[in-house]
Amino acid sequence: MLDHILSILIFFPAIAAVFGFMIQKDSIRAYGISVAAIEFGLSLWLWFAFDGNVSGMQFMENLPLVPSFGINYILGVDGISLFIIVLAAFFTMIGIASLTETPNEKNMIITLLFLQMTMVGVFAALDAIVFYVFWELSLVPMLYIIGAWGGPLRIYASIKFFLYTFAGSLVMLVGMLFMAYFFYQATGVWSFALLDWYRLILPETFQLWLFAAFFIGFAIKVPMFPFHTWLPYAHGQAPTIGSVILAAILLKMGTYAFIRFSLPLFPDASAAFMVPIAVIAIIMIIYTAMVAYAQKDVKQVVAYSSISHMGVIILGTFALNVEGITGSIFLMIAHGVVSGALFLLVGVIYDRRHTKLMSEFGGLAHVMPRYATIFGIMLMASVGMPLTINFVGEFLSLLGFYQQSHILTLLAGTAIIVGAIYMLSAYKKMFFGDVTKEENRNLPDINKRELVALIPLSIITIWLGIYPKPILEPINNSVEAVVQLMHNKAQTELAKERIPNLVKERVLVIKKTVIEEEVH
Amino acid sequence: METLLYIALFAPLVSSMFSALFTTTPKKTFVGVIASLLIFTSFVSSSLLLALIVVNGSAPVHVEMMTWMATGDLYIPFGFIVDEVSVTMMMVVTLVSTIVHIYSIGYMDHDKGFNRFFAWLSAFVFSMMVLVMSDNYAGLFIGWEGVGLCSWGLIGFWFHKESATWAANEAFIMNRIADLGMLIGIFLVYWNTGTLQYEGAFEAFQTLDTATLTWIGIFLFIGAMGKSAQFPLHTWLADAMEGPTPVSALIHAATMVTAGVYLVIRSNELYSLIPNVGLFIASLGAFVALFAASMALVNRDMKRIIAYSTLSQLGYMFAAAGLGAYWVALFHLMAHAFFKALLFLGAGNVMHAMHDELDPFKMGGLKKVMKWTWIMMTIASLALAGIFPFAGFFSKDTILEAAFAEHHFVIYGVLLFTAGLTAFYSFRLVALIFHGEERYKIFGIHPHEAYRFMLVAMSPLLILAMIAGVLQEPFFHMIEEILSAHEYHIHSHTTLWIMLVGTQVFVALAILYAYKKYANAFIKVPDGTSAIENSFAYKLLYNQYYIPYFYEEYLVKPYKEISDMFWNKVDMKIVDASVDGIAGIIYGTGEKTRAMQSGNLSTMLKWMVVGLVVLLSLAVVFGLAARYSDSITVILSGLGVM
């Protein structure tokens, strides 16, 4: 069973979703929770069986689809993708478990299970075409979630979300086709397998163009400035569960793809584009943090804060060294947990008051102390308090990038200031002061169903902040392999200089000890 | 020994988590008692560690609990070290915390957030312990941010008050600005030395070039400036007085604000390599000492006056540390913690008696009803002013001597003058509160002395404020080696005596002047009409040199405005509008060309003909081009195109 665990992880929710149509309305919730729980259990099993000391791909599956064009169904995980898969399974589970009264609950749960298939598929796929298929498929359930359960502007928001990201991915598809063609030219066989592509060393000019093509697809998904405007609409209109999944998992596809595709395929181009991308990342950090500060709607604050944090992730990715990339992957997990929790928390108050305007609240800490506490924990995680999950990622990302540029890191480091500004002011508006609105006076505090989701998230937030090793170590091992691959493939002086060589240093150290031993 | 270390470190955490269990329940006195006991346990463990180190002369205790972060070449453990420096800090922190915890049981008696208060207060002690005990910069940063968080929670403890939550956010954000500097300093340390452990980093510092070291020193000091509220990041400290008074005593006087000084002392091996940065630190310290003291002269808020005096004393500490007199700085830090905490707790008693009135002009003559508080605050003020034989005399005079012996006469002069100001404003406060007419009667207040146990809890501080001077010699011998300390000797004995006596006389005159001016029957509650209140200097000082106003007008408001502009104008009108614009163009094109696909046979035939013509002409053009490609190439290359 372990041989096919990835396929099982991908298709089990999908098959379960199909069967879900036959389940009665009353029991669909229990059914959904059990399916998601089994899926989560399987993902934990995957983690358990995963060998953290191996840097390469594990649990590989290979099934020819269109052999003549080298399109195969190839799956595999390494430290980079493993935890995002676990996170996706986890969020689907707690998302369904904490689902509040929803019209057409059955459709919602079935959609979520389909969405889960696409999410796991994206992170497990090692064939460009398979990856692309899941990448695009993931749009459909989300389109449906926003379009069917969203707010008043839901049609506009969902269409915008769909078309914008779809347009970007088409450019990426062209890039993939070109890549395969270059591979064909170089080797005489067609292949869309990522691991084959890794072996291909492209001339720098080709790399620049292909990097740009992939970049557009990924950047819109992340979303990077200035392609980010679909996100506030999507979050603003999506129901809570939609925002949670979107922020926690779907956005990570873009940053994950940068590490999976852009860096190892185009090391020279990555090094060449490092500074412009870092500048964009800094704009994302500062500019969207300021926009977040100007918001009146608390959900928009969290939405823009997501973009700001994604800026740090991008920065860490393009640090091109182990510390930075490891940090950025860790921050993906961290941001998934924290922003997911924040959207859930916003959902809590929205269910009670049917508004998200901060001016409608105030003094909530008096009436909902538990809610205020959990919100406070997530707030502090979001601003990067040490011993919370976010700090580890942010610290490592910035630390990594510092090796590349002092000034740019100094600018990006303002993330810790501007982040505190919008988050604390939002918290102050919502929770502090006296209760001014009569409606808020008798709000019930957080209930059990909501705690089911929020307590585990709080525990993870602190646990991984104190002891990140179980996750950091496998990530680190896989990242070292990626960085070494990039260094080996790099041709330009710039890339050689910016991407550290891990092996050489070790050899030197070994030689030194050998010499010392000889002397003794 | 390791067990003691872990008890000292984690007892406050246990205390915090225990108290946190009761945050949503009504006040339970036992929460405060148990929290105090646990902090006391921590104090006992720290004392035992001190005894082991001083008496037995055992080596520093160094433990590594577990790995925190490890990736690439980076390795950060949760490592803790108890050496002479950290054990001094641990003693100060746990002693003052224990007293403040016990005191708070009485002070927060009627507060409905009683349990929550102890959760935050103990969490603060834990963070502070992490800060001082860590054996690496990252661990220090954990404590650094942790105390910032607890300070946020405690300044904004009465969160229904707008001013309190505003001050809490201000403190947090301003500290964050400085923390960025600190973070950059940490990055610099890592990329230049390959480690964040003090031990390895200090060793590597010896081989680094001065420019790099200077940058490291500057960035780390920026971090210290925020936490220790040095100019220009000082405004948060005075506003932090919105928090409950025990918090001000513990956090904003005795411990947290001294974290910056601790950082400089801890990194003494770095700063002794870069004397230029040290001189800058000392100059800034001297400037802040004077600057803060001047603001305290005219203020009419009891707690703010003490806050400014804290700021001023922090300036003294930085002056000493900057001049390389690390042990003097650490000693003053310790002595200051005792008498300043005492002063604040005394102020807390007064506030309780006066129903949270803060204006000393509305008090007067309180010594009759609050005898013990009067004695305590007077002695604390004497210690603060540096009168022999109280604690401040030994610590502060040594700073002056150090400045003199190092031939920094300007710094010496500034610090000496500030000592006079310190004495003046301290006794202005004492005179206004405890002497003169009983002005509070107009306001119908019936003051009463604090609970007996609160006074008893304060008594260790009283004793220490009186006798801490005798600790100077043993302290010097303990710390001698680790801080490469040396005593400062002024060469001629005559000079030394002139200096000592002169300083004492100067300070004593300032005290007498304060009494004469403010302890008489003619003091009235100022109503803004007197000539002095309308003078420029008074207004300048009273408005804190207009710096908070400047920050508000030129930083906070523009930030808000630019944020609004970014959202309304840039994000919505430019970025998003162009996306929608492109989508609109595509949609519009479709809309316009839809007429072609009307299904009308004759229209479609027409378009078919158009298409055919276009295709044929393309075919002809390309065919010709292919046929004559050779000659075209020749022609083009002749033209220089290809």
The predicted structure's pLDDT at residue B84: 86
Q: Do A322 and B72 touch (CB under 8 A)?
A: yes
What is the number of other CB atoms lying within 10 angstroms of the CB of residue B482?
A: 16
pLDDT in tens, B522-538: 777 777 777 777 788 88
Q: B108 and B156 share a domain? A: no
Q: Which helix (H) or strand (E) holds B76?
A: strand B74-82
Q: Which 8-state DSSP code applies to residue B81?
A: E
Reading the block at residue B443, the tokens are 């306001």
Q: What is the largest CA-CA distance in chain B?
A: 119
Q: B347 and B426 share a domain? A: yes
Query: Whole-angstrom Cα distance, residue A319 to residue A309?
Result: 16
pLDDT in tens, A143-161: 999 998 888 888 999 999 9
Q: B97 and B243 share a domain? A: no
Asked if A403 is an interface residue toward chain B (Cβ–Cβ < 8 A), one would say yes
Q: Which 8-state DSSP code applies to residue B437?
A: -
DSSP codes joined into one string, B353-404:
HTTT---GGG---TTTT-HHHHHHHHHHHHHHHT-TTSHHHHHHHHHHHHHH
Query: Whole-angstrom Cα distance, residue A506 to residue A512?
Result: 10
Q: Over pLDDT 90: what percentage of chain B?
A: 43
Query: Least CA distance to A476: which residue of chain B?
Result: B71
The predicted structure's pLDDT at residue B628: 83
Per-residue pLDDT band at B579 (split at 50, 70, 90): confident
SS3 A332: helix
Asked if A433 is an interface residue toward chain B (Cβ–Cβ < 8 A), one would say yes
> How far is A116 from chain B, CA to nearest CA, in Å?
29
Query: Least CA distance to A293: which residue of chain B?
Result: B563
Report CA-CA distances (Å) from B553 to B18, B421, B547: 43, 31, 10
> How far is A256 from chain B, CA to nearest CA, in Å?
19
Query: What sections of B55-83 are H helices per DSSP?
Result: none
pLDDT in tens, B168-194: 999 999 999 999 999 999 999 999 998
Q: B116 and B221 share a domain? A: no
Query: Whole-angstrom Cα distance, residue A41 to residue A36?
Result: 8
Q: Which of B165, B179, B191 sits opposite A428 (nearest CB)?
A: B165
Contacts of B562 in chain A (CB under 8 A): 290
Q: Do A469 and B70 touch (CB under 8 A)?
A: yes
Cβ atoms of A500 and A321 within 8 Å: the answer is yes
Is B579 part of any domain?
no
Residues 278-317 of A with CB under 8 A from B: 287, 290-291, 293-295
> How far is B206 from chain A, CA to nearest CA, in Å?
21
Q: Do A432 and B562 touch (CB under 8 A)?
A: no
Cβ atoms of A60 and A98 within 8 Å: the answer is no
Asked if A413 is an interface residue toward chain B (Cβ–Cβ < 8 A), one would say yes
Is B591 part of any domain?
no
Q: Which of A294, A373, A472 sits opposite B567 (nearest CB)?
A: A294
pLDDT in tens, B287-339: 999 999 999 888 888 899 999 999 999 999 999 999 888 988 999 999 999 99
Cβ atoms of A189 and A196 within 8 Å: the answer is no
> How far is A295 from chain B, CA to nearest CA, in Å?
8
- The angle, 0 to 180 degrees and rounded to 10, between the axes of the packed helices B371-385 and B326-353 is 150
Reading the block at residue B437, the tokens are 């007419």
Q: B147 and B118 share a domain? A: no
User: Is ipTM > 0.85 here?
Assistant: yes
Is B310 part of any domain?
yes
Asked if A322 is an interface residue toward chain B (Cβ–Cβ < 8 A), one would say yes
Q: Do A399 and B67 touch (CB under 8 A)?
A: no
Q: B246 and B340 share a domain? A: yes
Query: Whole-angstrom Cα distance, residue A477 to residue A467?
Result: 17
pLDDT in tens, B107-129: 888 888 899 999 999 999 999 99
Query: Whole-angstrom Cα distance, residue A429 to residue A433?
Result: 8
Q: B609 and B510 share a domain? A: no
Q: Do A417 and B568 touch (CB under 8 A)?
A: no
The predicted structure's pLDDT at residue B25: 84
Per-residue pLDDT band at B54 (split at 50, 70, 90): confident
Query: Whole-angstrom Cα distance, residue A423 to residue B186?
Result: 25
Q: Do A229 and B180 touch (CB under 8 A)?
A: no
Asked if A385 is an interface residue toward chain B (Cβ–Cβ < 8 A), one would say yes
Q: Which residue has the tokens 């002392």?
A: B265
Contacts of B71 in chain A (CB under 8 A): 322-323, 326-327, 396, 472, 475-476, 479
Query: Whole-angstrom Cα distance, residue B495 to residue B84?
Result: 33
Reading the block at residue B105, the tokens are 């049981």
> How far is B503 from chain A, CA to nearest CA, in Å?
44
Which residue, B89, B111, B130, sits at the end of a domain?
A: B130
> How far is B528 from chain A, CA to nearest CA, in Å?
31
Q: Do B165 and A433 touch (CB under 8 A)?
A: yes
Per-residue pLDDT band at A285 (split at 50, 70, 90): very high
> How far is A487 from chain B, CA to nearest CA, in Å?
15
Mean pLDDT confidence for A134-145: 92
Is B564 part of any domain?
no
The predicted structure's pLDDT at residue A519: 55
Query: Whole-angstrom Cα distance, residue A196 to residue A184?
Result: 11
Asked if A226 is an interface residue toward chain B (Cβ–Cβ < 8 A), one would say yes
Kindly tell me if the per-residue pLDDT of A289 is higher than 90.
yes
- Domains of chain B: total: 3
Q: Which 8-state DSSP code applies to residue A127?
A: B
Q: Which of B165, B176, B564 sits opposite A416 (nearest CB)?
A: B176
Contacts of A295 in chain B (CB under 8 A): 567
Q: B184 and B294 share a domain? A: yes
The predicted structure's pLDDT at residue B418: 92
Cβ atoms of B526 and B301 within 8 Å: the answer is no
Per-residue pLDDT band at B642 (split at 50, 70, 90): low
Which residue, B542, B577, B593, sits at the end of a domain?
A: B542
Q: Do A229 and B68 touch (CB under 8 A)?
A: no
pLDDT in tens, A218-271: 999 988 988 998 999 999 899 999 999 999 999 999 999 999 999 999 999 999
Contacts of B583 in chain A (CB under 8 A): 160, 163
Give burial (CB, 10 Å; 0-12/13-18/19+) of B455: buried
Q: B215 and B322 share a domain? A: yes
> How far is A432 from chain B, CA to nearest CA, in Å?
5
The predicted structure's pLDDT at residue A513: 54
Q: Do B146 and A386 touch (CB under 8 A)?
A: yes
Q: Do A387 and B146 touch (CB under 8 A)?
A: yes
Residues 472-491 of A with CB under 8 A from B: 472-473, 475-476, 479-480
Of A370, A237, A393, A213, nearest in space to A303 by CA: A237
Query: Least CA distance to A480: which residue of chain B?
Result: B72
Q: B610 and B481 share a domain? A: no
Q: B124 and B140 share a domain? A: no
Contacts of A434 in chain B (CB under 8 A): 160
pLDDT in tens, A338-372: 999 999 999 999 988 888 888 888 888 888 989 99
Residues 23-52 of A with CB under 8 A from B: none
Cβ atoms of A236 and A151 within 8 Å: the answer is yes
The predicted structure's pLDDT at residue B364: 78
DSSP codes joined into one string, B468-530:
GGGGHHHHHHHHTTTTT------SSHHHHHHHHHHHHHHHHHHHHHHHHHHSSTT-----S-S
User: pLDDT averaged over chain B?
Assistant: 88
Q: Which of B69, B156, B566 sits opposite A472 (nearest CB)?
A: B69
The predicted structure's pLDDT at residue B60: 84
Mean pLDDT confidence for B154-165: 90
Asked if A276 is an interface residue toward chain B (Cβ–Cβ < 8 A), one would say no
pTM for the structure as a whole: 0.91
The predicted structure's pLDDT at residue B595: 75
Reading the block at residue A129, the tokens are 């075409």
> How far is A437 from chain B, CA to nearest CA, in Å?
14
Q: How many cross-chain Cβ pairs, A to B, lie less than 8 Å apart?
A: 139
Per-residue pLDDT band at A520 (split at 50, 70, 90): low
Asked if A98 is an interface residue toward chain B (Cβ–Cβ < 8 A), one would say no
Kindly tell me if the per-residue pLDDT of B521 is higher than 80.
no
CA angle A120, A1, A141 (to 5 degrees): 20
Residue A297 phi/psi, 5° resolution? -105, 125
Query: Omega into B26 within 30° of 0, i.e. cis?
Result: no
Most confident option among A17-21, B590-594, B626-630: A17-21
Query: Whole-angstrom Cα distance, residue B75 to residue B81?
Result: 17
Q: Which of B23, B173, B568 sits opposite A420 (nearest CB)?
A: B173
Cβ atoms of A335 and A245 within 8 Å: the answer is no
Contacts of A468 in chain B (CB under 8 A): 68-69
Give burial (CB, 10 Å; 0-12/13-18/19+) of B594: exposed
Q: Do B566 and A290 touch (CB under 8 A)?
A: yes
Query: Whole-angstrom Cα distance, residue B574 to residue B567?
Result: 10
Mean pLDDT confidence for B3-19: 92
Q: Do A385 and B571 touch (CB under 8 A)?
A: no
Q: Which 8-state DSSP code applies to residue B254?
A: I
pLDDT in tens, A44-78: 999 999 988 888 888 999 999 888 888 999 999 99
Is B587 part of any domain?
no
Per-residue pLDDT band at B365 (split at 50, 70, 90): confident
Query: Whole-angstrom Cα distance, residue B582 to residue A179?
Result: 28
Q: Do B142 and A386 touch (CB under 8 A)?
A: yes
Residue type, A173: L
Is B581 part of any domain?
no
Domain assignment of residue B467, given as a range: 136-542
Q: B203 and B153 share a domain? A: yes
Per-residue pLDDT band at A518 (split at 50, 70, 90): low
Query: Whole-angstrom Cα distance, residue A230 to residue A223?
Result: 8
SS3 B228: coil
Contacts of B188 in chain A (CB under 8 A): 402
Per-residue pLDDT band at A496 (split at 50, 70, 90): confident
Query: Whole-angstrom Cα distance, residue A36 to residue A13?
Result: 7
